[in-house]
Amino acid sequence: MNEVHSDEGMWLPSDPPKILLKTKYDFDLTDEFARKLMLASVRFPGASGGFVSADGLVVTNHHVGADAIQNLSSPQRDLMKNGFLAKSRDAELKCPEMELNVLQSIEDVTIRVNAVVAPEMKPADAAAARRAILSAIESESLKATGLRSDVVALYQGGLYHLYRYKKYTDVRLVFAPEQAIAAFGGDVDNFEYPRTSLDCAFFRAYENGKPAKLEHFFRWSSAGPKENDLVLVTGHPGTTNRLETLAKLKHRRDVTLPYDLARLRAYEATLIQFSEQSPEQRRAAATVLHSVANRRKAFAGQLVGLLDPKILAQKEAEEAKLYDPFIAKQSPSKLDDDIHKIFPSTPWAAIARSQKALADFEKRYLLLERGDAMFSDLTPIARHCVRMAAELPKANGERLREYRDSALESLKQILFSPAPIDPVLERARLQTSLTFLAEQLGGEHPLVLKVLAGRNPADRAADLVAGSKLFDVAERKRLVAGGQNEVNASTDPMIVLIRTIDNDAREVRKLYETLVEEPERQAYAAIAELRFKALGKSVPPDATFTLRLAFGTAKGYDVDGKSLPFQTTFDAAFARSALLGKVEPFVLPPSWEAAKAKLDLKTPFDFTSTADTIGGNSGSPVLNRAGELVGINFDRNRHGLVRNFVYTEVQARHIAVHSRAVLEALRQVYDAQALADELLGK
Amino acid sequence: MNEVHSDEGMWLPSDPPKILLKTKYDFDLTDEFARKLMLASVRFPGASGGFVSADGLVVTNHHVGADAIQNLSSPQRDLMKNGFLAKSRDAELKCPEMELNVLQSIEDVTIRVNAVVAPEMKPADAAAARRAILSAIESESLKATGLRSDVVALYQGGLYHLYRYKKYTDVRLVFAPEQAIAAFGGDVDNFEYPRTSLDCAFFRAYENGKPAKLEHFFRWSSAGPKENDLVLVTGHPGTTNRLETLAKLKHRRDVTLPYDLARLRAYEATLIQFSEQSPEQRRAAATVLHSVANRRKAFAGQLVGLLDPKILAQKEAEEAKLYDPFIAKQSPSKLDDDIHKIFPSTPWAAIARSQKALADFEKRYLLLERGDAMFSDLTPIARHCVRMAAELPKANGERLREYRDSALESLKQILFSPAPIDPVLERARLQTSLTFLAEQLGGEHPLVLKVLAGRNPADRAADLVAGSKLFDVAERKRLVAGGQNEVNASTDPMIVLIRTIDNDAREVRKLYETLVEEPERQAYAAIAELRFKALGKSVPPDATFTLRLAFGTAKGYDVDGKSLPFQTTFDAAFARSALLGKVEPFVLPPSWEAAKAKLDLKTPFDFTSTADTIGGNSGSPVLNRAGELVGINFDRNRHGLVRNFVYTEVQARHIAVHSRAVLEALRQVYDAQALADELLGK
């Protein structure tokens, strides 16, 4: 895609960029190296990590483990505030709902998937057939191998790959620093650089009650990267949109992103207000507020990117290259609605039409089926209870995808998690999202009237929370075990609400699948074919929260005329804390203040590189040529926020914790000699 | 409007509720009392205050004076943080851009205004004729009396009154407490109760370089109110919407409020993020952030109110009472669109039609003409420069209303204010509002393309701020003095931007005036006539930021089963600060911590009453039967947020600083004996 090869690319582990790495970096990516990448990389829920010892030790970001650490905490034992170090293996703390996945194999099933969809099929039939074959493939694979099996659409539907994962469900906390140093700078510094955060945590995977014994893991580098070194990043980038058509990107710019920003800002204002009431409320809302603020910032950056005429022009030029031959060189001056009317049978025109269709019901889809109107922890629980009753009696291939056999075990682990839910926070979240529903659809929309049930949003939220028994895991289990009869008989207001709107939600989901998802898959498959013909596999697929390899150079950048070095050092954290008056989020934990004299203040802390990452890469191991771990990726800078749509290395950087920072902190601050020794294989 | 007389009502000083007060409270509101109310009440920009000594001393809220106090501050002299007390009259600090207004007379000019509008006139002609007669009346009055003269539309156009004000433009700061105690609890406690804030400040009006000598002022009560006492509140409530039609209220609920909430949340997220970068940035953004957060909270409360079926039902019943006789008892079951189609010539139908028209261009109107797309301090300045060049050469009656002769002096005082403008904050505000513009209209809307001028919002904001000379008052004066030639020749990017969109902005303003404002005025005039016939003047007009009298009872209320007393005491402030860990905004200033031992901790601090207030009443004197000042109103509780639409005294309360709190603090904390003596007339 780039004429001069940049460091762009989140590459498939089954098809790594060997030639590119050889040409640009004189690096031989061997099959053995590729195999280790796969087997030593770990997928966390929505994020990444890596094995770092033969005894199942896993490193990731503190913010990736934060939910688990929070769930292990109590008012008497605040592990977020005070951190945690297991003094022995016996003292490692089991995390109730954590599941880790390790990729074992990749199989191309494109032909089998596409075979069930005939060109003359109606979209609804095609979507049903596709859903059935996906569930069948996954179910077969699960039965045959016992491994978690997911079929993933690559190139927006150009290829289908079956991924098989080994699952670890006995995962224990080994070490977490205090949140104050793990997230030093907090939401203020999120997407910013320079940074000085120790955003890492260690867990251990267990099998049969014993630490997992591993052949493949990343050795810890005690040196870390030098400036201009090649680095490799392995992990699970979540979503990019680089191969989407211009019509799709414009729809995101003009419809989806503005809606999502409005929603996140509404949530954020409420959560901030809630947090400020008391230290307890601040603690209760911390994780969800961070997640909302993080997405709001990321989406705002994306929108500014899509409003950049240069970026749109680049997208248009890329599309025109594929488009021109398709319409026999009748080169259009501009790829807009008119051209799609002149050539209505191109895949680009089909995608443009699906955006038009989507505009009519997207809000309803997101509010009702994604659940934006009922932003809470209880609502998805209530919905699973209601829907499992209806779906589980059906044949596997006919169920909604999230209830296919191969997904049930993981789903139940989440649904029956004993993690406590704060009723006061639930009420605040529900009030703001119920109000948001009315803001979006209008106070007299039938759905609004149904959901509010004759109450204003504040009273409705209070009723729902006060009346619901779903805070109790036993009640959830009772409902799921009881099936349709118990669900129908329930007078729990959350269950009643979900029951009342379930037909509407299913209807709009069907619209989405039939009018958008399936036509897009077919169109993108056609575009992918053209792209393969023109460019081969030189363009990797968009990110899909599956394992990818990125690479780049450890280096700094210039901003507003100032040169930022590629790494920071420990002393910068102390300096910044002092400069900002030692107020949150710039308070160093007491352990660091106490250890200051012992610390080598010139120890590298965080560093940046040009490697191509995105949300989901949090916790990604950053490796050197020898395959040793030199860092743990934890953020991008704000210049990298446009990476959803285009890669640039002018200023865009990812940010990682330096491997030496972890060693120095473990030894000098936390007296965690055994853990440091384990990392170094001693 | 209420069958059993509640404490509802923001009454005209020219028509006070004498009978009501006599009946309900056995209080004789004499003409002398009414005259004092008028001449001792002071209007601040957007707020209220009152004279409290014969030497021109004025009390208001600290948050009302905050802009002025901030402008008098510098990094070396932070009056917001440290407070201020003038040790002598010589040491009182002149506030560069403050103008106080004191009402001198009210004249009914309804007949003269309506005489120029003939029934057969087109809306555009009617609007022009109305604008001309208003400017003529004001201009005449100014010439004849030398007093600031404003014609105000009451009952949304049912009556027109000419208000004449004495202006004070030499206003000096006498005393301000530290913001930490003035706004104790900050935005967290805004619209909440119990409260413990000393939200007051003292200024002095000067004439000819000497303290103004006054006949009318409110004596300070050293006792304050007792529970269940009658209290009277005099001040300038800004806006209520109680007499608006159902169609208008639904438009607010479904269109205007959701838009405004989306906008304010976008601003708020940016301002919070900006504030968190450093203590300096926090200071720079504090006032605007408070104002945005305050409005966001207020609007959210209003929306929840309009989404309350009970409130809408009450509105519908009120409307039906007037509506029924109008359509000859053909009682409609529901006042909706259908009834307006069946009876298209009622004034309610006309207002419903104007909402439909408005929906088509309201966003453009608010973004462009109200300036929501360019949320900054520089933009209104640039616009005044551009528009004064075009407007001032026109005849007075033909100008845009804000440039009529009688308004120019006050306008120039603001336009040429030397108050500094922070360029970093301007850039952040512009970036977020330019992005918001694109979110609202779409990335390819011609207006968006014009405003962004080929740049993304971040770069465009940077360009505008870096290139503009309007930070400098001399440049503004040069442009205004130079008129059209200088404005046309200017290459200042802010001026160029405003010039580029001025035709579009004027066009959409014209749409608003012709399709909404004028038809609504005529329709509301018809409704007002019906209401006068049916109910006389027993229903006061909606608030219009003119002087009004409210009354009520000092009393507490119950919430979530808990009884809240009508007043708090000093010790509650110390207790709350300790409970919340003495972190912002719950840090008491050092002066209070130091004085704690000396203070009578049982001194009443803040109190609540049922009196009917709204935004604009900030700083309102709260009086007892003797006309003595017993409190300074500074807030409503959240139950009072629905007061825009309905009055209720079930839980809704306004909140005031107790007169004894001020005395005790002045004497024991601030050693301000002279000021305390002046208040007590010693």
Q: What is the pLDDT of residues B324-367, one digit of tens each?
A: 666 655 555 566 777 788 788 899 999 999 999 999 999 999 99
Q: What angle do CA A424, A427, A431 make, to 5 degrees?
A: 145
Using DSSP's 3-state secondary structure scheme, residue A459 falls into helix
**Residue B203: per-residue pLDDT:** 98
Using DSSP's 3-state secondary structure scheme, residue B524 falls into helix
d(CA A522, CA A153): 11
d(CA A588, CA A178): 9
Q: How far apart are the first and last CA of chain B?
A: 45
**Taking all residues of chain A, what is their mean pLDDT, rounded to a whole number?**
94
Between A and B, how many CB-CB pairs are < 8 A? 115
**H or E, element range at A47:** strand A47-51
Contact B232, B64 (CB under 8 A): no
**Residue A1: per-residue pLDDT:** 38
**Residue B337: per-residue pLDDT:** 74
Give the nearest chain A residue to B577 (CA atoms). A278
CA distance A442 to chain B (A): 5
Query: How is A432-450 classified by DSSP, letter by letter?
Result: HHHHHHHHHH-TT-HHHHH
Q: Is A258 on the interface with B (CB under 8 A)?
A: yes
- For residue B219, report the phi and psi dihedrals to the nearest 5 degrees: -70, 145
The CB-side HSE value for B51 (13 A sphere, CA atoms) comes to: 26
Chain centroid to CA A230: 25
- For residue A553, report the phi and psi dihedrals to the nearest 5 degrees: -120, 135
Contact A192, A651 (CB under 8 A): no
Interface contact A439-B262, CB threshold 8 A: yes
User: How many other CB atoms sit within 10 Å of the CB of residue B676?
Assistant: 20
Q: Is A261 on the interface with B (CB under 8 A)?
A: yes
CA distance B16 to chain A (A): 35
Interface contact B444-A279, CB threshold 8 A: no
Contact A247, A256 (CB under 8 A): no
Could you tell me the two tokens for A182?
């793990």
Q: Is A314 on the interface with B (CB under 8 A)?
A: no
Phi-psi sector, A99: left (phi>0), alpha (psi -120 to 50), beta: beta
**pLDDT tens-place string over residues A365-418:** 999 999 999 999 999 999 999 999 999 999 999 999 999 998 998 899 889 988
Contact B498, B386 (CB under 8 A): yes
Greater confidence (B415 vs B280) lies with: B415
d(CA B643, CA B640): 6
Interface contact B439-A279, CB threshold 8 A: no
**Torsion angle, CA of A78/A81/A82/A88, rounded to 10 degrees?**
70
d(CA B427, CA B420): 15
**Residue A330: per-residue pLDDT:** 55
3-state secondary structure B141-193: HHHHHCCEEEEEEEHHHCEEEEEEEEEECEEEEEEECCHHHHCCCHHHHCCCC
d(CA A393, CA A399): 9
**Residue B326: per-residue pLDDT:** 62
- For residue B145, report the phi and psi dihedrals to the nearest 5 degrees: -115, -20
Residue B39 in this model has a pLDDT that exceeds 70: yes
Q: Is A304 on the interface with B (CB under 8 A)?
A: yes
Contact A632, A661 (CB under 8 A): no
Question: Which DSSP symbol is given to A74?
Answer: B
**Residue B331: per-residue pLDDT:** 53
Residue B460's nearest CA partner among B379, B362, B366 is B379
Contact B432, B456 (CB under 8 A): no
d(CA B424, CA B269): 16
CA distance A277 to chain B (A): 6
Confidence tier at A327 by pLDDT (50, 70, 90): low
Q: Is A19 on the interface with B (CB under 8 A)?
A: no
Region B136-150: what's the mean pLDDT? 95
b vs e for B612-649, b when ≥16 Cβ sit within 10 Å of the residue's Cβ? Answer: bbbbbbbbbbbbbbebbbbbbbbbbbbbbbbbbbbbbb
Residue B592 in this model has a pLDDT that exceeds 50: yes
Residue A3 in this model has a pLDDT that exceeds 50: no
**Residue B321: per-residue pLDDT:** 84
Q: Which of residues 133-162 of B touch A (CB under 8 A)?
A: none
Question: Which DSSP symbol is given to B601?
Answer: T
**Residue B1: per-residue pLDDT:** 38
**Residue B622: per-residue pLDDT:** 98
Q: Which of residues 50-109 of A touch B (CB under 8 A)?
A: none
**pLDDT tens-place string over residues B431-474:** 999 999 999 999 999 999 999 999 999 999 999 999 999 999 99
In a mutational test of the A interface, the residue from B254, B283, B448 whose CB has the highest number of chain A CBs within 10 Å is B254
Chain centroid to CA A527: 26
**Sequence-distant (≥ 6) Cβ neighbours of residue B75 within 8 angstroms:** none
d(CA A443, CA A435): 9
**Sequence-distant (≥ 6) Cβ neighbours of residue B281 within 8 angstroms:** B274, B275, B424, B425
Contact B94, B172 (CB under 8 A): yes
Residue B507 in this model has a pLDDT that exceeds 80: yes
Could you tell me the two tokens for A231?
């680095």
**pLDDT tens-place string over residues B199-212:** 999 999 999 999 99
Q: Indicate the residue type of B39.
A: L
Q: List Cα–Cα distances, A412 to A416, A477, A484, B101, B600, in angstroms.
A: 6, 10, 17, 68, 60
Q: How far apart are the first and last CA of chain A?
A: 45
Interface contact B456-A265, CB threshold 8 A: no
Region A207-211: what's the mean pLDDT? 97
Contact A67, A176 (CB under 8 A): no
Q: Is A443 on the interface with B (CB under 8 A)?
A: yes
Region A188-202: what's the mean pLDDT? 96
Give the nearest chain A residue to B448 (CA atoms). A307
Task: Please tell me which of the candidates A272, A307, A431 has its beta carbon nearest to residue B452.
Answer: A307
Region A211-239: what's the mean pLDDT? 97
**Residue A329: per-residue pLDDT:** 52
Region A214-223: what's the mean pLDDT? 97
Query: How is B77-144 classified by DSSP, letter by letter?
Result: B-HHHH-EE-SSGGGPEE-TT--EEEEEEEEE-HHHHHHT--TTS-HHHHHHHHHHHHHHHHHHHHHH
**Residue B581: per-residue pLDDT:** 85
**CB-based burial label for B148 (10 Å; 0-12, 13-18, 19+):** buried
Q: Is the dihedral of CA B641, B644, B650, B655 positive or negative?
A: positive
Residue B258 in this model has a pLDDT that exceeds 50: yes
Could you tell me the two tokens for A313?
């022009």
**pLDDT tens-place string over residues A552-594:** 999 999 988 899 999 999 999 999 999 888 888 999 999 999 9
**Residue A427: per-residue pLDDT:** 97
**Could you give the strand order of the β-sheet that contains A604-609, starting from the edge strand earlier in sequence?**
A548-553, A230-235, A621-623, A629-636, A654-658, A604-609, A567-569
Confidence tier at A647 by pLDDT (50, 70, 90): very high
Q: Is B456 on the interface with A (CB under 8 A)?
A: yes
Interface contact A303-B257, CB threshold 8 A: no
Query: A159: which strand partners?
Result: A154
**Residue B40: per-residue pLDDT:** 98
**H or E, element range at B496:** helix B493-512
Region A589-608: what's the mean pLDDT? 97
Residue B3 in this model has a pLDDT that exceeds 50: no
Could you tell me the two tokens for B491?
């290459």
Residues written for chain A: 682
Q: What angle do CA B19, B22, B27 make, to 5 degrees?
A: 135
Query: How is B603-638 classified by DSSP, letter by letter?
Result: SEEEEEE-----TT-TT-EEE-TTS-EEEEEEEE-G
d(CA A147, CA A149): 6
d(CA A48, CA A623): 14
